Amino acid sequence: MIPWQEIVAYAVIAAASLSLLTFWITKKFVLKKMNRTIMKAEHSYQQQIASLQMQLSGKVNVLEGMVNKLHLSNQELTRLNEIRSKFMSIVVHDLRQPLSSIQGFASILMMDNPQGDGNNDQLALNNILKATENMGKLIADLMDISMVESGRFTVDGQPFSFNTLVNDVFALQAVNAQKKGISLQKRDYPTDITVVADRFRISQVLNNLVGNALKFAPQGGRVEISFFVDNGRIICRVEDNGPGILHTEKEKIFQKFHQSDNDRNLKKLGWGLGLAIAQEIVLAHGGEIGVESAGLGQGAMFWFTLPQHPAVPVKRPVTAQA
């Protein structure tokens, strides 16, 4: 073998040995260090995951506790609501009988002594009758609300003349308007409108709107009833020049037991149930109800709509709106 070939052989052996040494060093030190780093990172991640799992478990326990409390609160609210409904029902039924007796005896006393005997007896009897009449209205409202909440309040649709209904309400409320010195006006619709609805309940709605307008309108004020047909729907409006309604109050006015703050003296005349009942009745007929007012001192216009010929027959129970 010539010398240069030996040199090449030795060089190849030396290079191979160096490669093996480099691989061994890399495997022994570098890879070992990398493995330690990876294991350390993995351990850190496992600790973080365990910590997060513990935190999540704690929050789940808290959430479960809150859900249990909410469930118990709902059960308590349901129980209290049932007690309230039963209480209202008992109060309404137990008050009607003695109230009717008071009205009857007061009426008999007035007939026996129509002129009074000079001791303000007649005035006292009139006040008794007015008070019992107001109580009777309150009891009727309470009964309606109780029936709505229990699902026993029903509407029964039959065809009738809406014009005649408006005329009947107008004639009834004209007496109250005259007593207060308020001009009650009515815009007659040129043709007769037939509607399929619960006449008694729709009369209740219109009487409530007109009665409220007369209650809030000032002495010498004006209340106007108007109605027309638009695209198969009856639109009825009751407009007054009373104290008006704040924009913030318009969203609350149909809530149960809500009463306007415009005149605190008028709160004594009711419990704020009439508009809530009117809303339930109108919605049960597939209609809408609302109020418009430019603000305090600008009067108000209450309106409601009814489908003239509803696609679904109006004969179903009314359920309380959420």
Which residue stretches of the chain have pLDDT < 70?
1-6, 8-10, 12, 15, 21, 23-28, 30-31, 84-85, 87-89, 91-93, 112-120, 150, 257-271, 311-322
17 burial (CB, 10 Å; 0-12 / 13-18 / 19+) is: exposed
Query: What residues pair up with 194 in beta bridges, in sequence order?
Result: 161
- For residue 236, the model assigns a pLDDT of 96
- Residue 313: its pLDDT value, please? 56
CB atoms under 10 Å from CB of 123, counted, come to 10
> What does the pLDDT read at residue 125?
76
- What confidence tens digit (pLDDT) does each residue in 148-190 have? 776 777 788 899 999 999 999 999 999 889 988 999 999 988 8
d(CA 172, CA 278): 18
Q: Which residues of 212-239 are buried (b: 16+ CB within 10 A; e: fewer)?
A: bbbbbbeeebbbbbbbeeeeebbbbbbb
The continuous run of DSSP H or E covering 154 comes out as strand 153-156
- What was the pLDDT predicted at 185? 94
Residue whose pair of structure tokens reads 């005896």 in the numeric block: 105
Check residue 297 and give its pLDDT: 77
Give the pLDDT score at 266: 47
- Model confidence pLDDT, tens digit, residues 288-298: 999 998 877 78
> CATH classification of 155-318 is 3.40.50.10860, yes or no?
no
Strand partners, 195: 160
Stated pTM of the model: 0.63
Nearest to 214 by CA among 263, 188, 179: 179
Taking alpha carbons only, the member of 144, 159, 145 closest to residue 314 is: 159
Q: What is the DSSP letter of 218?
A: P
pLDDT value of residue 209: 94
Q: What is the pLDDT of residue 73?
A: 84
CB 308 within 8 Å of CB 194:
yes
Length of the chain: 322
